[in-house]
Amino acid sequence: KLQKEKEERSEIGAYIFDFRSIYAGYQKCFFRHASRQANRVAHMLATEGLRREEITYLFNGVPHSVADSVDAD
């Protein structure tokens, strides 16, 4: 979705617009898929956010349920 030129109208469209604006200033920019295992902390944060059914902003650190994984990462 980041590399396509069409306008993104999904729920994450604003994020995609922001990322496109950021990487447009670089001469080269590469994106690569990271598996769930390689990006364990991000997956845990996303799962926790879905479980809570709320928008979560990470001020002053991460939830206790994820802290050990952050330290190990």
**Farthest-apart Cα atoms in the chain, separation:** 40
Domain spans, the chain: 1-31, 34-73
Cβ burial, residue 66 (10 Å; 0-12/13-18/19+): buried
| pTM score | 0.46
For position 23, what pLDDT does the model report?
Answer: 81
Tens digits of residue pLDDT in 13-69 = 888 888 888 888 888 877 788 787 778 888 888 888 788 777 666 667 777 777 787
For position 72, what pLDDT does the model report?
Answer: 77
Q: Please tell me the total number of residues recorded for the chain in this structure.
A: 73
Residue 3 pLDDT greater than 70, yes or no: no
pLDDT band at residue 1 using 50, 70 and 90 as cut-offs: low
